[in-house]
């Protein structure tokens, strides 16, 4: 009996020690969470005053104190996204999801970051998860619409938009989204109908007038488009996209200087859209301002270093200005980014041709033609390179190939070099 009592007492002592250990451990974890929460509040205060560097330090401190605190990773992820450090932001979002996979808004925010990285499929997975977890959250569904449109899944986008209209969630915006989808599907009459619905909700919607202007651009009603873009700008003088769109209409009409003025206004109201700088560079080049064009290509690349069209055009402009060495450096960068684009190889070949490096030029043109056998400009240029390197027969074969397919300059060059 005594032995049994001792055994029971021993078990009670052991259980008390285990309970005490668990209590102390939980207390320690609770204390870490309290300290980490205080660090988060400090970071939030720094954010309010625009001190992002100190805010990040505070959020990182919270993570150091309590690495399992998903909110700390979330806040640092959001801050890093805000300052343009997308890859680091994604690491934090992934950690937050791993730590707390049952919070819907983490998926929604990670989806937005994936959209910026053009990972549309990954973004859709996150939006679907967020919506499935909270089907009544209209904001999540609205965010998913943008993703579905970007992926070209117009039927699914329309279904979400109809749900949002039924829920009376910013119906003006939803009708505008339906107009955009219809326009992308070339259903211009439907687009006009949805624009009318948006204007019935809000007669002063600058976005609706801007979309109507784009519809008229597609209808080739350039004067009407300009009137509607102007109305959008009148309603919202800081509407950079409307200035940009109006510049497109002016450029089509041959009003280069007016297009340039609109693009100046677009840049003034929005400094972070690479497409605006790129288009202004094109207009400046057409107006003969090569230095200005070069500067705008550089601005576009500062915003988006992967903007291959800007890099290609910058290289082309440098070649045109006679700076062949810089042009070649940029041409090589473009090829590194897009090795399967025949235009990039043709550009590099043209630069080699300017240096009289005929064999290297021929190699580049041949690479372009291996990617696109009907790329007549590359075949024409290769023909000239062969002729310039005294390989007349090969050059004439290339010119004849182009001439037979209707290349504008091939017949003249063929007559000049290949006939007696």
pLDDT of residue 5: 47
> What CATH number does residue 419 fall under?
1.25.40.10
pLDDT of residue 28: 54
Q: Which two tokens stand for residue 60?
A: 């990182």
Q: Which two tokens stand for residue 193?
A: 């109908």
pLDDT of residue 14: 54
pLDDT of residue 58: 87
pLDDT of residue 17: 47
Do 55 and 79 form a contact (C-beta atoms < 8 A)?
A: yes
**Is 381 within the bounds of a domain?**
yes
**Is 416 within the bounds of a domain?**
yes
Residue 214, C-beta contacts closer than 8 angstroms, at least 6 positions apart: 183, 225, 245
Angle at which helices 138-151 and 154-166 cross, to 10°: 160
**Is 51 within the bounds of a domain?**
no
Residue among 372, 376, 396 at smallest CA distance from 386: 396
Long-range contact pairs involving 271-277 (C-beta distance under 8 Å, separation at least 24) = 272/303, 273/240, 273/244, 273/303, 274/299, 274/300, 274/301, 274/303, 274/304, 274/307, 274/310, 275/244, 275/300, 276/240, 276/244, 277/303, 277/310
Return phi, psi of residue 137, to 5°.
Answer: -80, 100
Do 62 and 77 form a contact (C-beta atoms < 8 A)?
A: no
pLDDT of residue 420: 64
pLDDT of residue 27: 53
- For the chain, what is the domain count? 1
**Is 240 within the bounds of a domain?**
no
- Residue 218 and residue 151: Cα distance in Å, rounded? 21
pLDDT in tens, the chain (420 residues): 444 545 555 555 554 545 545 444 445 556 777 887 888 888 888 888 888 899 899 889 888 988 888 888 888 988 888 887 888 988 988 998 898 898 898 899 999 888 877 788 999 999 999 999 999 999 999 999 999 998 999 999 999 999 999 999 999 999 999 999 999 999 999 999 999 999 999 999 999 999 999 999 999 999 999 999 999 999 999 999 999 999 999 999 999 999 999 999 999 988 878 888 888 988 998 899 989 988 998 888 788 766 777 777 777 787 778 777 887 888 888 888 889 999 989 888 888 877 778 889 899 999 999 999 999 999 998 998 888 888 889 989 999 999 999 988 888 888 888 876
**Is 372 within the bounds of a domain?**
yes
| Domain residue limits at 349 | 339-420
pLDDT in tens, 157-196: 999 999 999 999 999 999 999 999 999 999 999 999 999 9
pLDDT of residue 176: 96
**Is 398 within the bounds of a domain?**
yes
């Amino acid at each position: 009996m005594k032995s049994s009592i001792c055994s029971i007492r021993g078990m009670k002592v052991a259980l008390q020690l285990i309970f005490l250990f668990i209590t102390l451990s939980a207390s320690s974890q609770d204390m870490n969470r309290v300290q980490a929460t205080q660090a988060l509040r400090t970071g939030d205060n720094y954010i309010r005053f625009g001190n992002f560097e100190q805010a990040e330090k505070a959020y990182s401190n919270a993570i150091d104190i309590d690495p399992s605190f998903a909110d700390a990773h979330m806040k640092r992820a959001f801050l890093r996204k805000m300052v343009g450090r997308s890859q680091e932001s994604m690491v934090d979002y992934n950690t937050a999801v791993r730590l707390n996979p049952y919070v819907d808004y983490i998926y929604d925010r990670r989806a937005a970051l994936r959209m910026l990285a053009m990972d549309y499929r990954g973004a859709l997975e996150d939006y679907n998860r967020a919506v499935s977890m909270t089907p009544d959250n209209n904001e999540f569904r609205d965010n998913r619409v943008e993703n579905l449109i970007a992926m070209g899944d117009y039927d699914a986008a329309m279904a979400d938009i109809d749900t949002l209209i039924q829920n009376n969630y910013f119906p003006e915006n939803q009708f505008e989204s339906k107009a955009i989808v219809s326009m992308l599907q070339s259903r211009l009459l439907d687009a006009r109908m949805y624009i009318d619905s948006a204007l019935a909700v809000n007669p002063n919607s600058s976005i609706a007038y801007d979309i109507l202007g784009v519809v008229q651009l597609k209808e080739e009603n350039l004067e009407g488009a300009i009137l509607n873009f102007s109305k959008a700008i009148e309603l919202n003088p800081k509407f950079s996209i409307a200035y940009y769109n109006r510049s497109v209409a002016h450029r089509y009409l041959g009003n280069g200087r007016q297009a340039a003025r609109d693009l100046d206004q677009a840049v003034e109201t929005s400094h972070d859209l690479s497409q605006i700088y790129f288009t202004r560079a094109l207009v400046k080049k057409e107006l003969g301002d090569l230095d200005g064009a070069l500067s705008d290509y550089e601005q576009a690349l500062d915003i988006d270093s992967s903007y291959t069209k800007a890099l290609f055009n910058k290289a082309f402009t440098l070649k045109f200005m006679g700076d062949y060495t810089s042009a070649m450096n940029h041409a090589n960068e473009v090829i590194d980014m897009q090795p399967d684009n025949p235009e990039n190889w043709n550009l590099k070949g043209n630069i080699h041709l300017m240096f009289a490096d005929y064999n290297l030029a021929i190699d580049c043109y041949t690479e372009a033609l291996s990617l696109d056998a009907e790329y007549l400009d590359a075949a024409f240029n290769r023909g000239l390179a062969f002729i310039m390197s005294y390989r007349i027969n090969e050059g004439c074969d290339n010119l004849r190939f182009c001439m037979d397919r209707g290349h504008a300059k091939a017949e003249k060059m063929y007559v000049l070099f290949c006939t007696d």
